[in-house]
Chains A and B, each alone.
With several copies, the nearest count.
Chain A
């Protein structure tokens, strides 16, 4: 066990994967020489060499398309897109090829690859550096979509993604890269893709979130506890496949749910979670499901950010409202 930040845990996962499996390669912009914008791939070039840790020209479609070809040929590429706002040039490759080759070829060809995308805001970045587009990937059949919020999950989910026979969109919450530290198992360790994590057991209301928003959600849970309200806090972690059982069991128990995400509200992934809950346990619901989300606006620049991101207050207020109603 070693105490690591989420970013360090990802670095460790890369090193573990590269050491364990010759077919693993790391490819992206500035991932080799500089170790990436967030230093997640720091040191890998020195340890594994330029054949397996590759700096590419600025061309996201090229990165994903080339990694796709490598994966079809039997390698296990980990491709990095520098920020989610720059994942759109590669969207065609992801949606039309990466997600489809298995079906198109009836398993004859597959794309076991990981596409790592730092995402989310809250650090006062320039435009296009704070997006949360998990929903557009979750809506694409053929992709798995996961996002860790703890160092242990970061390492475990990334190694599980590398080992997965299918393509995995791996979303990294930028805001949490260095804000959390915890003990992480050394060597090869995995966290099953498709399982949510109950961070706090409770009985009055279920709080659901993923990625960076788990931080505010947990804090909201503590705030509510101080007032004697027992909340069950769930880190969804895996959007596709979604752990519906854990979510529904919890809501059947509490009768109330608040879904939190920083992506825009309309057609965000929270809509899927909210719809699922109401469709599957309507009669257990004591109050309407509440969504606490980013607004249907462009993610604002630094000065506007405080007005955008879901706050602990907003989450607490939403949770309270479900108790007042029901």
Chain B
């Protein structure tokens, strides 16, 4: 498992990443965590529907997103709000979606990020098709898909990996191995030594990185992105991380894991280690932390306000999304529904 920055914040080898970028990504992780924590409390207040926390996975998501160009495709899941926001998906739309509103699935025209996939496994092949299309159209865009360890058990993972390799599509398979598929630990999901090893079955390079190590994640994702962009084909990246929170706000992890395990996991926090690193280089101060956390709070609060300002959907909301032009049946049913 490749690591650049230890949990204690020391650099194991020279990183090509400049400190100003590291500071930018550190700030992004801080914003993401506030978004995550705020989402949980909003859900408790009944202002959001079920929420799937990503605490502990900020390094993986922010590091991966940072390796993309703005016009590269991102195809992510219900747990990837940090990555999606970092790729330009407006935070207010993430909140809006979580209130239970389809309007949260419509990013601006210049944000090539699909709405989060709720089904596990089905979305990876979409990133194959998106990248494939870019190549057919002569664009130099790549497509990165995020998914979890559990998704690698679905047949669709196999078909997506195989198509990507056979057709050498510019696709990056970014797996966040956060230890569990709801209650099932990775050791009971597969007998392969690592998830990265699965790339062998497709003649695809597979790399395993410390997913809580922002620098390692960024470095390897960038390499995979460049490889894809150059036409050399797909890469599987296994980012080893941990889901600090419950599977969703409905889940009770005590049914399947120990507090000790969570305590140990917390010592590997992806944000703390970057803070320590920056501090050691004199790039981190309490004042700056104060500044960015206040900024983060403002960003999150503004996004919530914007999301909650969206009026309740009308009856037409159900019908208008179905086709470019409503069918006779839908027009008729919309009338009945309105009556």
Contact = CB atoms under 8 A, between A and B. Distances in A.
Interface in A127-165: 127-129, 141-142, 144, 165
Interface in B87-128: 97, 99-103, 105-107, 109, 114-115, 118-123, 125-128
A59 B182 contact: no
B330 interface: yes
Contact of A86 (B105, B119, B136): B119
A110 B115 CA distance: 12
Contacts of A34: 182-183, 251-252, 255-256
A298 B330 CA distance: 12
Given A33-B256, A300-B102, A127 B118 contact: yes
Contacts of A304: 100-102, 313, 317-318
Given A57-B162, A57-B163, A307 B317 contact: yes
A298 B321 contact: yes
B106 A108 contact: yes
A184 interface: no
Contact of B100 (A56, A265, A301): A301
A39 to B, nearest CB: 10
A194 B327 contact: yes
A70 B129 contact: yes
B163 A52 contact: no
A290 to B, nearest CB: 11
Contact of B328 (A59, A75, A194, A301): A194
B160 to A, nearest CB: 7
A75 B337 CA distance: 35
B335 to A, nearest CB: 11
B154 interface: yes
Interface stretch (A5-13, A223-231, A239-247): A239-247
Contacts, number: 257
Given A73-B133, A244-B328, A296-B330, A59 B155 contact: yes
B119 A295 contact: no
Contacts of B100: 124, 126, 301-305
Given A25-B136, A102-B323, A301 B102 contact: yes
B287 to A, nearest CB: 40
A58 interface: yes
Tell me whether chain A's interface is mostly helix, strand or loop, or mixed. Answer: loop
B163 A55 contact: no
A56 to B, nearest CB: 7
A65 interface: yes
B163 to A, nearest CB: 5
A241 to B, nearest CB: 4
B126 A97 contact: yes
Contacts of B143: 69
Contacts of A108: 105-107, 109
A68 B163 CA distance: 14
Nearest to A302: B100
B83 interface: no
B106 to A, nearest CB: 4
Contacts of A65: 122, 125-126, 128-129, 156, 159-160
User: Size range of the interface on A?
Assistant: 35 or more
B151 interface: yes
A296 B322 contact: yes
Interface residues of B, number: 78
Given A124-B49, A295-B318, A301-B101, A92 B122 contact: yes
B319 A297 contact: yes
A286 B116 CA distance: 50
Interface string A280-305: 00000000000000011110111111
Interface stretch (B4-12, B184-192, B224-232, B272-280): B184-192
B129 A302 contact: no
Contact of B118 (A51, A92, A128): A128
B154 A69 contact: no
B206 interface: no
B318 A75 contact: no
A229 to B, nearest CB: 21
A42 to B, nearest CB: 10
Contact of B327 (A25, A70, A241, A302): A241
Contacts of A104: 102, 105, 115, 321
A275 B136 CA distance: 46
Given A97-B122, A307-B337, A58 B328 contact: no
A70 B128 CA distance: 8
A96 interface: yes
A269 interface: no
A107 B321 contact: yes
Given A34-B255, A57-B184, A70 B132 contact: yes
Nearest to A82: B182
A128 B129 contact: no
Given A33-B183, A307-B313, A69 B130 contact: yes
A72 interface: yes
Contacts of B136: 25, 51-52, 70, 75
Closest 3 CB pairs of A and B: A69-B129, A302-B100, A65-B125
Given A72-B126, A103-B102, 7 more contacts: A29-B182, A58-B153, A58-B189, A59-B159, A102-B324, A296-B330, A302-B101
